Chain A
Amino acid sequence: MTLLRTIDLAKHFVLDTDMRGRPTEVEKAVDGVDLTLAENEILGLVGESGCGKTTLARLLLRILRPTRGEVHLDGRRIDHLSERSLREIRPKLQAVFQDPSESLNPRFTIGESIGEGLRHLTDLSHDESRRRVHEGMERVGLPARIADHYPHQLSGGQRQRVGIARALVLRPRLVILDEPTSALDVSIQAQIINLLFDLKDENRLSYIFISHDLNLVRYVSDRIGVMVAGRIVEMGPTRDVVENPEHTETRTLLEAVARERVAGSAPGGPGRG
């Protein structure tokens, strides 16, 4: 069943206007994106910096208003909703951001950060919220005692777990993951990826996984979309895209990662040393 669908979604930023306020210079950050996402599916979006993938994420989350096009979530059109009406949608549609040290308010305790969504979007009592926050922390592997700590007292991996818990306590159906591991230490990345898989299976979540790292997207996603200059130039099941890339950009991305030699995948070749 289709959970999310966009039709010709676009966001143009006006960079400069003439004297009468008419745009003279426009950046087409997202320029006509059609995508669908099924329930319990992971869609990977890959592209180089500046290709518009973060803008797309913000359009789907309705942090930005689209210039044109439609977004349907669970059969309901959401792109034109007011902030007030969006409050019904928000719990279903959550996000985990790239840099956990940037995405947590440094002046909020961990408990406050995780409970923020509950505070704004639900009518839960104080005790009930606390219980949900602790539940969420336990689920992502955070000890309950750090609820009173501040982000700077936590490690990068713990902070990203906070970011995940914050989305999870609202019991969402779709979580948009915008580079969720790229700011993390190498040995922590795998932990977070596994956690995201576990949570998906437990809660029948769908993910949109945005990254510049094709290897990672390939590992994580059921389907892949390749973004170039605001458009999705190629989209399909992961295996098809990786094995039969149709677009040159996809091929370039694949070439960049193909030569990384790690155990088992090494093509041999003379070692230097």
Chain B
Amino acid sequence: MLRRRLRQFWDMCWTNGFLLSAVVCLTLLYLVALFAGFVSPYHYDNEDRTRSYHPPTRIHVFDDGRLTRPHVREYELTFDEDYRRVFVPVEGVRHDLRLFVRGDTYSFLGLLEWDLHLFGVGEEGRIYLLGADSRGRDLLSRIAYGAQVSMTIGLVGVAIALLFGLLLGGISGYYGGWIDTVIQRSTEIIMIIPGFFLLLALRAAFPPDWDSIRVYFFIIVILSFIGWASLARVIRGMVLSLREKEFVAAARVLGAPDRFIITRHLIPNTASYFVVYASISIPGYILGESALSLLGLGIQDPHASWGNLLQEAMSITQIQLHPWILLPGFFIFVAVMSFNIVGDALRDLLDPQQEVTTTI
């Protein structure tokens, strides 16, 4: 069953260019998140205050019209005639781009300390492929580390929401009666309150000065607390109709206990829905975290997430002067878009109608 589905998904990827690029984007983003320390040239908190808002550096392959090793120029800060800060290249000073250089130490996959980076220019210069922030920290490195938060918060959050939504929805639908009433009223209470205010209220109930790791897990819990309710309602509805199916009657005749019927007969048959639900609701988690962090209530500096990176882009003048600080937003856009495309494709794939047409 699963193998057939994966095969169909694979086939879909090759016929649908959007889907293929979405899958490629997501794969790349997760690889970046996983190997953030390795792919980023600097540690996320490696700052150089003399190079505040350093613009993105170009990689040159020509020097004086001759082909050379790829290198970047050294820039220095001056002021133009309007007394605006500008970085201008310093003639003759170049830093060769090298692969697998030693640099800041980081913990590789949480297992060992390592200092090897995919690329870099060594100690003497600095490379800012995507520019720098106000404190001269490399934006590329911060986006890579930020991906660790932003790309996982959705997965973990959805997993928790799924666990609760499926179990409570399944129990609610299968038993009915007062159990159903209690669970459904609880979901309604959660759903009545506008999500964003609930998010803020829950965050406000806890100390503001927690460290980032605790905040990270706490945000996940808040988001899944809001997320499970809508899932539980739909799963309940599906279970209500599924429990009338003959295979549930058959299971009871065969002596299956309720626990077995709910977890093995009913919930797996809602998979076509909850797989789609999961992939479509991940963007909500990414955006929720971004919103909290943007407001300064989520991940705190110096730790990076795509949301708190955007804090720098809250003033329009900053965006005018240093447009690259909007780039984290672009990554949010790509991730959200990709999850939506994949979710749509999964919906088409798992649609029972589809099943019918392929078996004609």
Contacts and interface: CB of A to CB of B under 8 A. Distances in A.
A120 interface: yes
B255 A63 contact: no
B244 to A, nearest CB: 10
A211 B3 CA distance: 39
B246 A102 contact: yes
B166 to A, nearest CB: 15
A189 B269 CA distance: 29
Interface in B236-281: 245-247, 249-257, 260, 264-265, 268-269, 271
Contacts of B251: 105, 116
B112 interface: no
A231 interface: no
Interface string A64-93: 000000000000000000010011001101
B269 A63 contact: no
Contacts of B269: 105-107
Contacts of B249: 58, 61, 63, 95, 97, 103
Interface string A100-112: 0011111100000
- Candidate in B247, B257, B271 with the most chain A CB atoms within 10 angstroms: B247
B1 interface: yes
B177 to A, nearest CB: 12
A99 B255 contact: no
B255 A121 contact: yes
A170 to B, nearest CB: 8
Chain B interface size range: 20 to 34
Contact of A105 (B252, B255, B265): B265
B258 to A, nearest CB: 8
A93 B254 CA distance: 9
B105 to A, nearest CB: 48
A120 B257 contact: yes
Contacts of A99: 246
Contacts of A63: 249, 252-253
Interface residues of A, number: 30
A273 B121 CA distance: 94
A117 interface: yes
B269 to A, nearest CB: 6
A90 B253 CA distance: 6
B254 to A, nearest CB: 4
A127 to B, nearest CB: 20
A206 interface: no
Contact of A166 (B245, B250, B265, B359): B250
A103 B247 contact: yes
B268 A107 contact: yes
Interface string A156-168: 0000000100110
Contact of B254 (A58, A102, A117, A152): A117
A250 interface: no
Nearest to B269: A107
B238 to A, nearest CB: 14
A234 B249 CA distance: 28
Contact of A98 (B1, B246, B271, B359): B246
Contacts of A170: 254
Interface string B184-218: 00000000000000000000000000000000000
B254 A120 contact: yes
A238 interface: no
Given A97-B246, A99-B246, A103-B247, A117 B252 contact: no
Contact of B256 (A116, A163, A167): A116
A18 B295 CA distance: 51
Contacts of B253: 61, 63, 90, 93-95, 117, 167
A150 B254 contact: no
Contacts of A166: 250, 254
A63 B249 CA distance: 7
9 contacts: A63-B249, A63-B253, A90-B253, A90-B255, A91-B255, A103-B245, A105-B247, A105-B251, A163-B250
Interface of A: 58, 61, 63, 83, 86-87, 90-91, 93-95, 97-99, 102-107, 116-117, 120-121, 150, 152, 163, 166-167, 170
Given A58-B249, A107-B268, 15 more contacts: A63-B253, A83-B257, A98-B246, A103-B246, A103-B247, A105-B247, A105-B251, A105-B264, A105-B265, A107-B269, A107-B271, A116-B254, A117-B255, A120-B260, A166-B254
